[in-house]
Chain A
């Protein structure tokens, strides 16, 4: 019986939240006490807002902060299971744009549990929008505004300090059979490279693709940027330079390879200001 009334309330909340998010009063904040965060950047924001006590589950991509690992894992953000989500008895689900599948989210909406999609993007505005949506969904807009202005200030400061002046960077996502999977346009890696004041050495396609040897030579980056993942699947210098074409580029000859934590670098979340600063500094050092 108790659960029933709770659900009724959350139904009202859902409708209200969707129609007039800005009018949600502080008093109703107590109602979303069981939140699922599906998306690494969302989880970071929830923690940064100090609302982690309201989280009941996270997805596979939520790696930061470390404490998030203690939460139940509802699976990969694009492969969520309806009953899995319901099993943690949530009253709000925050999911990154592109998460799903849509069928699962449709079933969840059937149960009157609100599902809020957090927009994706690879620039300063995207970070602001993400924080805003998450804060509104959790009814902590005031904290959200504070967090956003702090993060944006960090980003602006980092961008202002950067003195890279058009260093050309190639972001290598992975090696596949010795070939290079690199970042082209419209992705998180390029967004970060631009914010740090550098240029993407790789042009001509969207997302991530395997490069031909000629494309590598054409790109001729000054610096190679890679992620070090938590699971020890790092791309070693030896592995990268074993590709003779890559080794022949400026970055290869100089051994200018920069490593950064993947989620930190590409999350476009709370730590993005620090990440831009770290990236800019790293590129500066490794390049000189």
Chain B
């Protein structure tokens, strides 16, 4: 379980995150949503230990602020929004970077399987830098998947932290990647994803945390969080929430809804 209590982050003297309480459970896909600058990416960076923070964050009982990077890396993997790569590595070499030191399993088999899951079969020999933005993001996801290959390890669940995993993808790949994350959660791992697309969030997330102005304004299931008032308050525009029979809430900006 991931718990963050009274989590605050300052950039210089400017507070970006103020007293946030957050919990996420293994076996669930927890989505963090909110407008630009609401602090959702900052929150993700804090709970992964990338940013220094005030407060208390525990991941599977580990104190994130003081844990060794190696210990954290063995239970959670992080997909950044954008990963600049310095040298001309091939796709295979990039994904292999996720393989932990002393891994006993057949690493090539897993690397190939991970590439298959993100829809990049046969890309092993391509140079990472030659790929499109969306393809690069999927390669990075494969690397992250390899790092925590078993959703539940001997000593507990593994965690995936994804910062806008599908922002640069086409709709087909968006569904494919969200399905990968969903499967990871279904198999017992924990997934925390920063999301922009509210409809995808509603379709895949077990729990939604809505950020606004550096704090959490609402959390619960998509149906609970995605209400007209709540979204309008957070995003500052008129949004209509309907219910789709198969996949729960269905969100359209108001002006677009009028044009239908």
Complex contact flag A–B (Cβ < 8 Å): no
Give the interface of A toward B (CB within 8 A). Answer: none
Give the interface of B toward A (CB within 8 A). Answer: none
